[in-house]
Amino acid sequence: MRQLTGQARTRVELERILARKGIPEDAARAVLDRIGEVGLVDDQAFAQAWVESRQQRRHLSRSALKRELAGKGVEPEVITDAVAGVDSDDELGAARALAEKKTRSMGGLDPEVRRRRLAGALARRGFGPGIVYRVLDEMAGGLDESAVEDAMRTGDG
């Protein structure tokens, strides 16, 4: 129960915690079934809240959100439902917000280096080339596509 007071967790996360503590599998399953019945563990609600929070604060793409949820043990169908609400405009907005945040710390850099680092940062967050090109074009009033392609291929940032 202490594991649920600080933050919401998925059933798989709780299973892993109980296993590390040496709790027998059948006892852990019984406890998790019961707390699931009373609504203390709800992977669907967890996934929805995770997507909303992570996209707003961390500015992640749909693909990055899917990877994170999968790593937390959320079922693929639940992941699909959770990220279904993230549309192209939301993803573009998250990419813009990330680029603006990163740009503030790159004031003294050469424009070429700044574009390459922004492209790398966006690519690492899971944004595809189309969104990266669009955001960099908006931010810089034009870009050198080869620099963007190099950054996305090498992950330079």
Instruction: List pLDDT tens digits, range 94-141.
Output: 999 999 998 888 878 888 898 999 999 999 999 999 999 999 998 876
Domain end: 50, 83, 116, which one?
Answer: 83
Count Cβ atoms below 10 Å from residue 105 Cβ, excluding itself.
Answer: 9
Domain end: 21, 53, 83, which one?
Answer: 83
Q: What gap in Å lies between CA 70 and CA 47, rounded to an integer?
A: 10
The count of structural domains within the chain is 2
Whether 20 and 61 map to the same domain: the answer is yes
Whether 79 and 113 map to the same domain: the answer is no
- Residues whose CB is less than 8 angstroms from the CB of residue 106 and which lie 6 or more positions away in sequence, other chains included: 113, 114, 117, 118
pLDDT of residue 106: 85
Q: What pTM, to 2 d.p., does this model score?
A: 0.71
pLDDT of residue 143: 43
Residue pLDDT, tens place only, 34-77 = 888 888 888 998 999 899 888 888 888 999 999 999 999 999 99
Residue 142 has pLDDT above 80, yes or no: no
pLDDT of residue 95: 93
Whether 114 and 69 map to the same domain: the answer is no
Least confidently predicted of 14-23, 58-67, 145-154: 145-154
- Domain range spanning residue 105? 88-154
Whether 76 and 94 map to the same domain: the answer is no
The CA-based dihedral angle spanning residues 61, 67, 69, 74, taken in that order and rounded to the nearest 10 degrees:
140
Contact yes or no for 69/82 (Cβ under 8 A): yes
Q: What gap in Å lies between CA 39 and CA 43, rounded to an integer?
A: 10
Local structure of 25: helix, strand or coil: helix
Q: Per DSSP, which regions of 1-157 are E strands?
A: none
Domain end: 20, 53, 83, which one?
Answer: 83
pLDDT of residue 156: 53
